[in-house]
Structures are given as structure tokens and as C-alpha cells.
Structure 1
């Protein structure tokens, strides 16, 4: 992923990429249980303060998975008239439900002022969410809203290489796939298809 991506774009894309090709023709989900979510949050220290100590539970997992479904639905809308990711084609929410779900998650930001006053410094007030689970879903929702309402949305594409289910940001005009290996698979598939049609003729 290119370095110039905003924090919001990177976080939002990374959330959607927790649904991926499993390497065997199927789809894998990195967020199937609380430890999987905790590992993902630890790999994304911008998601919540003190991400290294984040502990997920079933309710947080459900909230993040619900948010991810909404974001992937809105990604499918953003790439229209092109087809959505094959992983989403049969399980998209309605756009209105996806927007409502995203907005509800973004609203889960009850913050409280917290005083910090170390011995060797002036007192400072920081804002902290009252609940880590709400903070995580709200942070992810805010990032998704910023991304979907921003200019990078225009570059969003679904990769349609064989077996790929990823969304990506188009970096140059001729880019058709999310990564070179997908381009190679697509070219090989087209070659085999042409060869098969030639033999049938």
C-alpha cells in the first residue's frame, strides 16, 4: 500500500482486508474470534490508545464485524458501476442500513476528560473514551466516514483477479489489480481461456 495514504484510508482499507482469499479458493476472515480482533488491533496502534494492551470480547467483535459489513457494502457502492468484491456479492446490506450502521458506530464516542499531572510537568487534560469497545468502533467508523467522504474514494476499486476478494486504491491509470500477483493470475487465466476457446473452435 502506498505511503501517501492517509491514516483514515489505511485503517479503513485494512479493516476491509480482514476478509481475504485463503490461498485455497475460499475466503478467510481474520476476525472470527476475540483473539483475532485483539491481534488486529495490536497491529494497528492508531486504532485505540494503548492498543498493545487491548482485550477484545464477543460484544466488541460483533460490533467491529457489523461495522466492517457496513464499510464493505459502502465500498461496493463506491466502485459502481463496476462489480463489488466477489466476497460481498451475495451478502451486501442495503445502502441505507450500511449508512445507519456506520453513523451509529461513529456516535459511540462518549469521551471524558482525564487529568494527567506528572511530577515534572504541568497538568494536562486528555480526552479518553469511557469504553474501549466503543472507542474502537467509533475510531474505525470515523476513519471510514472520512475516507468515504474524501477524494481517495474515487480511486477505490475491487480486484477481480481470480480468487481475489480485496478492495484497493488505484495508484496509476492502468492499474487493474490490487497487487502484481493478482495481475499474473488474471493474465494466466485469460491465456488459458483463450487457449481453451481456440481448441474448441
Structure 2
């Protein structure tokens, strides 16, 4: 789930469908919607049944946007020598600063293992955090998911989508995958077709038009 959550956070910067870039976290309402849509992976990485049960506010939005900036910085670093995403809502951080930011956020929340062993069942381990501010649980969970993804094998398959206007990162799932989704592949093929015809327009006919 670390891949799902890290990519979802990075993908809150996206193509808006009209040639521009949209930010799904541009306001508190957008953050509220995003948290609701990604509740399941957030439960795992925030080490709490409800990673953020309160009402999101502007400070939480700023905290999450700052983490996103660090994640997108490290995604751009990870895809080298390939090209990074074409658009960012803010300039990228220096890589050491982005690493420090993720490590600091992840380390703000102590987590402990809790053993469970119901009768006649297999023992299980659940991770629980010490009582802490809900904001810390959320940002720590996001940072930990990003760290786990960046340190794992899927990082080597991370790419920036090369389709026109797309600004998403994606993990290459099979050798022939070149775009983040089929619609981007279609758009890329249409763009190439247009460019070829623009560079080589059909020759004008020398015959006079019919009378």
C-alpha cells in the first residue's frame, strides 16, 4: 500500500483537461475529499483505526502540501536519467532537504507492535502509535508510506508520464507500458500523428480543378 499512497499524494498535482495543471489540495475541501478517498491506506500507515477523525484545517493542508513537495522532489530524483514531471505547483526542494523533511515527519510519532493471539488462532501483530495529535498521525503516516516506497524495489520502475500535458508519475507494471493510463497513450499517438503531418504537408496537386 505504500506505493498506492505515495503515488496518490504525488498525483494530487495533475493535468486539468484544459491544458493546465490542477491541484487537488488547493483548499481544505479538496484535502477533506482526498483523505476520505484514501482512508484505507491511511489507516495502515498512520497506525490508527482513524488516522484523522477531526475536521481538516488550513494548517493540516499546508503540512500535507509540504510533504507532497518533498515526495515529488524525490520522485524527480528517482526517475533520473529520465525526465521528471513537466509541471510542479512549487519549485522542487534540494534533495537532502526533501529527505530530511520526510525523515523528520516520520519520526514525530513513536509506534509500537501489539501482539494479538485469540484462542485457537494464529498470532498477529498490529502497530499502534502512542497518543498524539491527529495531525502528527496523518503526516507521519504519509511520510512513512513515501519512505517505504522510495526504499523498495518498485522505485526502479517509477517514471514520469511522457504524454502531452500529463504531469503524473506512475510505476511501470509491465515491460511495454509507456504511459500512466491508456488515455495518455491515445493522446500521445494523436500528437505524434499531428506533428508528422504538420512537418510534411501533402503536396499541392498540379492538375487544374475540374470544370
Q: TM-score range by the shorter chain?
A: 0.7 to 0.9
Change in CA separation of 1:200 and 1:81 when aligned onto 2, cut-off 3 Å: farther
What residue number does 1:19 align with? 13
How far does residue 88 in structure 1 lie from its aligned partner after superposition?
Answer: 3.1
With over 3 angstroms needed to count, the CA separation of the structure-2 counterparts of 1:129 and 1:193, relative to structure 1, is farther
The answer to which of 94-103 and 69-78 deviates more is 94-103
CA RMSD of aligned residues (A): 2.3
1:139 aligns with 2:134: no
> Shift of residue 74 of structure 1?
0.3
CA deviation profile, 1:4-62 (whole Å, cap 9, x unmatched): xxx11101111111111111100001101222212211111231432584421111111
User: Residues 190, 55 of structure 1: CA spacing in aligned structure 2 closer, same or farther, 3 A cutoff?
Assistant: same
The DSSP-based 3-state class of the residue aligned with 2:42 is: coil
Q: CA offsets, 1:111-154, max 9 Å, x none?
A: 69xxxxxxxxxxxx953441111111100000000000000001
Q: How many residues align?
A: 184
- Tell me if structure 1 keeps the 8 A contact 2:53–2:134: no
- Report the 3-state secondary structure (helix = DSSP H, G, I; strand = E; otherwise coil) of the residue aligned with 2:18: coil
Which residue does 1:175 correspond to in 2?
177
Q: Does the CA contact (< 8 Å) of 1:42 and 1:52 recur in 2?
A: no
- Contact 1:111–1:129 under 8 Å retained in 2: no
Mapped contact 1:73–1:93 kept (Cα < 8 A) = yes
Cα distance change, pair 141–164 in 1 and its aligned pair in 2 (3 A): same
Which SS does the other structure have where 2:165 is aligned?
coil
Gaps of 5+ in 1: 1-6, 113-124
Larger gyration radius, structure 1 or structure 2: 2
Aligned to 1:117: none
- In the TM superposition, what is the alpha-carbon distance from 1:199 to its structure 2 partner? 2.1
Alignment of 1:1-201 (within 5 A): 7-45=1-39, 46-48=41-43, 49-50=49-50, 53-88=53-88, 91-110=91-110, 127-199=129-201
